[in-house]
Structure 1
Amino acid sequence: MRKSRFTEEQIIGFIKQAEAGLPIKDLCRKGGFSDATFYKWRAKYGGMDVPDARRLRELEAENNKLKKLLAEAQLDIHALNTAFGVKR
């Protein structure tokens, strides 16, 4: 996955500027990103504050770690069942 040039704090700042009344076209031109990117950010981060975005990042990282652990456990179970000839 490609990493964004902007941090969550900067993205939330852009969204707050748009909510304050700055035209989106001007904001995007000044920030150096497209309108589509802004609307994608607004869908993901709209209504959040900086601590909320940090918590979201932490939860996503924890979720990825748990998914990896579950996949490894399932792989181990499958390997053991295959090794001992257990049919499912």
Structure 2
Amino acid sequence: MPRKGRSNEEIVHALGQVEEARRSRKSFAGWGVSEQTFYRWKKQFAGLRLSEIRELRSLRHENSKLKQLVADLTLDRHILQEIVRKKL
């Protein structure tokens, strides 16, 4: 099943509505998400305000960029070390 990107506002709204409906399957279907997706969202976002969710997503995105940068620089370092070893 293709993954649908949901905005922070939609997720928070969906969590609230489904909680109010006492986790009825109809509520999950109304949002077009599975029960499993709802519980994953609940685990990730429970107790967080919308601003905190935005910050969390921003930090996760920044973290992934930094990890990629570290991986690239590590690879460059290994390549340069091999070049130096071959010259000696």
Query: C-alpha distance in 2, partners of 1:29/1:81?
Result: 56
Q: Which runs of 5+ in 1 are unaligned?
A: none
**Aligned Cα root-mean-square deviation (Å):** 1.8
Corresponding letter in the other structure for 1:26 = K
Corresponding letter in the other structure for 2:11 = I
Identity over aligned pairs, percent: 31
Report what 1:27 is aligned to. Answer: 27
Higher relative contact order (CA 8 A, sep 6+): 1
Report what 2:60 is aligned to. Answer: 60
> What TM-score does the superposition give when structure 2 sets the normalisation length?
0.82
1:6 and 2:6 are equivalent in the alignment: yes
Q: Which runs of 4+ in 1 moved over 3 A?
A: none
* Residues 57, 30 of structure 1: alpha-carbon distance in 2 compared, 3 angstrom cutoff: same
Bigger proportion of residues as helix: 2
Query: C-alpha distance in 1, partners of 2:15/2:5?
Result: 16
Count of residue pairs brought into register by the alignment: 84
Query: C-alpha distance in 1, partners of 2:48/2:21?
Result: 18
Question: What secondary structure does 1:85 align onto?
Answer: helix
Query: C-alpha distance in 2, partners of 1:35/1:11?
Result: 13
Q: Which runs of 5+ in 2 are unaligned?
A: none
